[in-house]
Copies of this chain bind each other. A is one copy, B any other.
Amino acid sequence: MCPIPVGIKRVAESTIHRLSHYWRVLIALEKEGYKTVSSRELAQREKLTPAQVRKDLSFFGSFGTRGLGYPVTQLKEQVSAILGTNQTWRVALVGVGNMGSALVGYKEFSRQGFNIIKLFDNDQRKIGSFHKGLIISDVRNLEVEIKQAGIEIAIIAVPSAVAQQVMDEIAKGGVKAILNFASVKLKVPGDVCIRNEHMSMELEHLSFALVNKITGKQCE
């Protein structure tokens, strides 16, 4: 909702989101052999305006060369450092059900440095068993085991009814970043950052679009 303080200035939520896009484009450009790239080219690939690209980047520093553009590899690394994707993160996943299992197997997470290293569930039949090489721990030990493993990010993939409860334990465990797949609004301590992945809401947006005959670009 409100902008995010970084240092003194404030970044727009949307800027961070676009940064993720830039990062992906830069990786692609590097593969394609580009040495430098202009804000125009970068913008075209993401259907944005060149001005937007320059504003976004200039917020974090002066990465380009006038008359030339941005050095691809270098910018890629700088964006990566800003996003924190130049390091690996220790991730715990709570709820090894339908969705949870899929997320454990989701290659892209680990490929980008998000390593799921702990699994939790409340089902006695699952606890103690292995899932894709990881043992499933009892959710009742969340707080302790999260601390021991030095978990930095937690993914909540439990039924909505117990999500808040799980959330509270995770917070007690000192985790400051949470990705929530349960479709409820969770109460979080002031120093915890939570992102919601509300899949049903995206479908509702689509049905809204269909009912109201929204077209194409206007819908994203």
Q: Is there contact, CB below 8 Å, between A193 and B215?
A: yes
Q: Is there contact, CB below 8 Å, between A220 and B1?
A: yes
Q: Is there contact, CB below 8 Å, between B85 and A210?
A: no
Q: Is there contact, CB below 8 Å, between B194 and A19?
A: no
Give complex CA distance A102, B199 in Å. 12
Shortest distance in angstroms between A58's beta carbon and chain B's nearest beta carbon? 17
A168 contacts which chain B residues (CB < 8 A)?
none
The CB with the most chain B CB atoms within 10 A, among A47, A113, A188, A206, is that of A206
Q: Is there contact, CB below 8 Å, between A21 and B99?
A: no
Give complex CA distance A210, B152 in Å. 9
Q: Is there contact, CB below 8 Å, between B208 and A220?
A: no
Range of interface residues on chain A?
Answer: 35 or more
Shortest distance in angstroms between A126's beta carbon and chain B's nearest beta carbon? 16
Q: Is there contact, CB below 8 Å, between A204 and B85?
A: yes
Give complex CA distance A194, B217 in Å. 8
Known A46-B185, A194-B219: A205·B153 in contact at CB below 8 Å: no
Known A205-B17, A205-B195, A211-B84: A109·B188 in contact at CB below 8 Å: no
Q: Is there contact, CB below 8 Å, between B6 and A212?
A: yes
- Find A210's partner among B112, B193, B197, B200 (CB 8 Å cutoff): B193
Q: Is there contact, CB below 8 Å, between B220 and A194?
A: yes
Q: Is there contact, CB below 8 Å, between B210 and A20?
A: no
Q: Is there contact, CB below 8 Å, between A216 and B192?
A: yes
Known A84-B211, A190-B215, A192-B216: A16·B176 in contact at CB below 8 Å: no
Apart from the given pairs A17-B201, A47-B185, A191-B215, 4 other A-B contacts in the complex at a CB distance below 8 Å: A109-B203, A112-B203, A177-B209, A197-B199
- Please, could you name 27 A-B residue pairs with CB atoms under 8 Å apart, sorted by A? A3-B218, A5-B214, A5-B218, A6-B212, A6-B214, A17-B205, A21-B201, A23-B204, A47-B185, A83-B211, A84-B207, A84-B212, A85-B204, A98-B105, A102-B102, A112-B203, A112-B204, A114-B200, A114-B203, A177-B207, A179-B199, A190-B215, A191-B215, A192-B215, A193-B216, A196-B220, A197-B202
